[in-house]
Amino acid sequence: MQDSPAPDVVPFGWEPGPDDVMDDIDGEVYFRFPAADDPAPGTRRLLAMSLYASMLGLAGVGIGIRGLVSQIGGGVPGWYVPVLALLGMVSVALSVGAFLSIHRRVLPWMLLLGAAVPLIADIMLAVAY
């Protein structure tokens, strides 16, 4: 049971509860919203992650505009837009995971670097059509 007025429908929250599951490796949860008693992440770390994520986002917007122009212009296969969207969503999901794991040492950076891979595939696909 939660102590907050938020409904129990949401499977995550700010407060740890009895349903929190720890992994068997080191007893920590990899992805979670920070709790009220968690230390704040370092300013440089947060700024660097935010700048990198914003560059990924701007590249994604550019790819989306290029995809829209290609779709309007015609001559692209039917799978083009769904694949562009899917790769973009994978990149966004990895970026979100990076910020949810900001208190870990290396995992956020691995996820942000991993978010660049589908974005690079998106760029190559957008350039090809």
What number of other Cβ atoms are within 10 A of residue 120's Cβ?
Answer: 12
DSSP assignment, residue 14?
S
Range name among 9-13, 25-29, 96-100, 123-127 with the lowest pLDDT average: 9-13
Does the pTM surpass 0.85? The reply is no
| Contact indicator for 56, 116 with CB cutoff of 8 Å | yes
**SS3 at position 96:** helix
For residue range 42-80, list pLDDT tens digits in order: 999 999 999 999 999 999 999 999 999 999 998 899 999
| Contact indicator for 100, 83 with CB cutoff of 8 Å | no
- Identify which has the larger pLDDT, 24 or 72: 72
For residue range 81-120, list pLDDT tens digits in order: 999 999 999 999 999 999 999 988 899 999 999 999 999 9
Q: Answer yes or no: is pLDDT of 23 > 50.
A: no
Q: What is the DSSP string of 15-53?
A: S--TT----TTTS--SS-PPPTTSPPPPHHHHHHHHHHH
Domain boundaries, the chain: 43-128
Euclidean distance between CA atoms 38 and 107, whole angstroms: 17
Euclidean distance between CA atoms 79 and 60, whole angstroms: 18
Euclidean distance between CA atoms 73 and 42, whole angstroms: 46
Q: What is the pLDDT of residue 37?
A: 84
